[in-house]
Amino acid sequence: MGTSKRGKASLLFEDPPLILSAASVVGKKEGEGPLGKYFDRIEMDSMLGKRTWEEAESELQTRTARLAIEKSGLDKEEIRYYFGGDLLAQLIATSFGSMDLEFPMFGLYGACSTMGEGLQLGSMTVAGDFADRVLVTASSHFASAEKQFRFPLEYGNQRPLSATWTVTGCGAVVLGKGGGGSPLARVAGITTGKIVDMDFKDSMNMGAAMAMAALDTIVTNFKDLGVDERYYDRIITGDLGTVGRRLLLDYLLKAGHDIESRYMDCGIEIFDGSTQDTHAGGSGCGCSAAVLCGYILPRIQQGEWKRVLFMPTGALLSTVSFNEGKSVPGIAHGVVLERMDEGRK
Amino acid sequence: MGTSKRGKASLLFEDPPLILSAASVVGKKEGEGPLGKYFDRIEMDSMLGKRTWEEAESELQTRTARLAIEKSGLDKEEIRYYFGGDLLAQLIATSFGSMDLEFPMFGLYGACSTMGEGLQLGSMTVAGDFADRVLVTASSHFASAEKQFRFPLEYGNQRPLSATWTVTGCGAVVLGKGGGGSPLARVAGITTGKIVDMDFKDSMNMGAAMAMAALDTIVTNFKDLGVDERYYDRIITGDLGTVGRRLLLDYLLKAGHDIESRYMDCGIEIFDGSTQDTHAGGSGCGCSAAVLCGYILPRIQQGEWKRVLFMPTGALLSTVSFNEGKSVPGIAHGVVLERMDEGRK
């Protein structure tokens, strides 16, 4: 056991936690998108058989968590803690969605960066020998989020082109030291984000608000680890969308880092903006979580990418803060994922 | 470095993290209560000089965090991570209240159990050698919470006697391996709560909803550590209030544990129910956090109590879940605090 603190915000794990299994469940629209074939399950009923959108999101989280446990080949009792979060006020999707599993529970809120926050805390918990295995999950649902953050669905309001489309989806991973089949990847290290406020006040352009947080976490990661963009085969943000993407790439170029050839954004990949009317891209906790589990981790396992900086991005606002004229600060949490047979630095 | 996993939900730290400093800041009403003289600072202006209740709560969190750092004698740069949370949707009090401090940041939501959740994750982070020192904080504000969860303040609505009064307060501790003066106590171990749902549906009686979660965590703690109530000088819940207190004591007695002589509830202590019109007691993240920092930790440091089970309790609801007819599940996170010179078991 051991670890190495690097710089102000990064850790490299001497004995990296392994991602033992991953599950992704998404909605119909996500299933029709370019990544549709990679997800474990596509729910054609957006209510998932429940009475309300919130119950539907809870059910989505329950099903994804159960599938991740099933795919790990472990008994539920072999997993010690549950780290989970969502976008809803007071985390009701997570509380009601994790309840029946009866795990000792840590509720997390990092807006759309929650999967990164969960992977960081879960990895520390495993690397520190506080648990042999933990479950990490994050979910979002288009209808529960739209209702809460924007307008009633019935309005059918017009959305500006900079707006994103909240993904109906959930990703869940089992992290651990071993056991339960062939691991997908290892968590080599983490860079924990700080809150970055550029005084952006447009809640319909959250990509711009989050781009500066992503910039900060990438630059901190490079500095803390003494590396640059060539260290990674892919640098993947959560849901900057097309507007945030351009800002991030431009600012990084000014800082001397040309990452465009190895850059990807989960929100841009999950929908086909030209045919799916999703404007700047997908967003929500479930976007990066489902793309991680369905698309990114298998690519690492199969050896297509040997090292990835996975960095979900979150916009820290509520309708109250926004309506009171506050800005939209951002946060981005970086997780360094490596192929299992990759040599250690 | 090392730890010992005990049972399903508990850890004992071989090298326990120390509470290096603690700060408590409360509002005027809390300052007039029985514990008023123990808090570091009483804010007579409930707006704390800000425009909105939410900004006031953020300012409360900023001031308390800064005071905890100041009292530790450490530079801000010697503290690595910030663990924080509050009751507001999307944690806006914490996001806007921690932003200027620029720490790598973990946002937590455990309702009124948040200080327990933060102490647990912060302790693992320090015990696992992932940080030399971290800051843990939780806040609530009567007006921001009342406005969000209950009725507009202007209604002046009547409250049932089972209802609690949200505390305007914040507690913050610096946890670490050492440095910065004389520690207040050590975190000997933790018992992480699970979500307990008894199908209670009365949001004006959250003490009852949380009592069963407290029961579960206490019984789990006893079982995991192989101890009973005699192991502790005090068993302290967060904000069960008078109704939840009675339920907890009765159910524990049925389970063979008479804890009444060593039991205390932060919510009952912080107000004088007979003169302050607070009904069942105080509540909110800030209640147990401020009482911990202002009242409990000094009592441990001075040797009055040598071992305390501190257990903030949270009710997991939002106005959406409640109005959609969902129950109010509870969660309680246990933290074992010991006097510095107490022999290890």
pLDDT for B209 equals 87
Q: Is B21 helix (H, G, I), strand (E, B) or coil?
A: strand
Phi, psi of A51 (to 5 degrees): -85, -30
In sequence order, what DSSP letters do the residues of B55-121 get, joined into one string? HHHHHHHHHHHHHHHHHHT--GGG--EEEEE-SSGGGHHHHHHHGGG--BEEEB-BTBTHHHHHHHH
How big is the A-B interface in CB pairs under 8 Å?
180
C-alpha count within 13 angstroms, C-beta hemisphere, residue A95: 28
- Strand A165-166 and strand A282-283: the pairing is parallel
Average pLDDT, chain B: 95
* Chain B residues inside the 8 Å CB shell of A55: 324, 326
Which residue from B minimizes the CA distance to A322?
Answer: B92
State the Cα–Cα distance between residues B137 and B81, nearest whole angstrom.
Answer: 11
Query: Of the candidates A191, A313, A231, A80, which has an alpha carbon nearest to the alpha carbon of residue B130?
Result: A191
Cα distance between residue B331 and residue A158, in whole Å: 41
Are B111 and A120 in contact (CB < 8 Å)? Answer: no
Q: How far apart are CA A313 and CA A308, in angstroms?
A: 15
**A3 — pLDDT class (breaks 50, 70, 90):** confident
pLDDT for B205 equals 85
Kindly tell me the number of DSSP H helices and DSSP E strands found in chain B: 12, 17
Which range among A151-165, A205-219, A306-320 shows the weakest confidence by mean pLDDT? A151-165
Q: Which domains does chain B have, with CATH numbers?
A: 3-176 (3.40.47.40), 185-338 (3.40.47.40)
Please name which of A120, A8, A225 lies closest in space to residue B132, comparing C-alpha atoms: A8
- Please write the tens of the pLDDT for every residue from B26-62: 999 999 999 999 999 999 999 999 999 999 999 999 9
C-beta of residue A290 within 8 angstroms of C-beta of residue A137: no
Element (H, E) at B6: strand B3-6
Quickly tell me which residue has 């550590």 as its tokens: B225
Amino acid at B284: G
Buried/exposed code over A168-179 (b: 16+ C-beta within 10 A; e: otherwise): bbbbbbbbbbee
Give mean pLDDT, residues B307-324. Answer: 95
Rounded to the nearest angstrom, the minimum Cα separation between A213 and chain B is: 11
Q: Which of B1, B124, B320 sits opposite A89 (nearest CB)?
A: B320
pLDDT at A133: 97
The alpha carbon of residue B46 is apart from the nearest alpha carbon of chain A, in Å, by 18
CB A334 within 8 A of CB A116: yes
Rounded mean pLDDT of A149-165?
Answer: 85
pLDDT single digits (tens) B141-194: 999 998 898 888 888 888 888 889 999 999 999 999 987 679 999 999 999 999
Q: Do B318 and A109 touch (CB under 8 A)?
A: no
Backbone angles phi and psi of B175, in degrees to 5: -105, 140
Closest-CA residue of chain B to A54: B321
Check pLDDT > 70 for residue B344.
no
Which residue carries 């759309």 as its tokens?
A112
Which tokens go with B294?
A: 């202002």
Q: Does the pLDDT of residue B67 top 90, yes or no?
A: yes
What are B242-283's pLDDT values in tens digits?
999 999 999 999 999 999 999 999 999 999 988 999 999 999
Q: What does the CA dihedral B178, B179, B182, B187 come to, rounded to 10 degrees?
A: -20
Q: In which band, very low, low, confident or very high, does the pLDDT at A181 lie, cut at 50, 70 and 90?
A: confident
**Cβ pair A242, A205 in contact under 8 A:** no
Q: Specify the amino acid at residue B92.
A: I
CB contact under 8 A, A148 and B320: yes
Burial of B162 (0-12, 13-18, 19+ CB in 10 A): middle
Structure tokens at B133: 């020192």
Distance linking the first and last C-alpha atoms of chain B: 17
Mean pLDDT of B104-131: 97
**With contact defined as beta carbons under 8 Å apart, do A105 and A85 qualify?**
no
Environment class of A152 (CB within 10 Å of its CB; exposed 0-12, middle 13-18, buried 19+): exposed
Dmax over CA atoms of chain B, in Å, equals 55
- For residues A102-107, give the mean pLDDT: 98
Return the residue in A86, A126, A311, A321 with the most chain B beta carbons within 10 A, the one to mutate for interface testing.
A321
Chain B residues inside the 8 Å CB shell of A197: 99
Q: Are A240 and A248 in contact (CB under 8 A)?
A: yes
Tell me the angle at which helices B114-127 and A114-127 cross, rounded to the nearest 10 degrees. 50
Query: Of A164, A119, A118, A166, nearest to A146 (Cα)?
Result: A166
Which residues, in sequence order, are bridge partners of residue B5? B11
pLDDT digit string (tens) for A248-301? 999 999 999 999 999 999 999 999 988 999 999 999 999 999 999 999 999 999
Residue A110 per-residue DSSP state: B
Helix or strand holding residue B247 (H, E) = helix B241-254
In chain A, whose CA is at the least distance from the CA of B217?
Answer: A104
The pLDDT of A24-28, averaged and rounded, is 98
**Chain A residues with beta carbon closer than 8 angstroms to that of B128:** 3, 124-125, 127-130
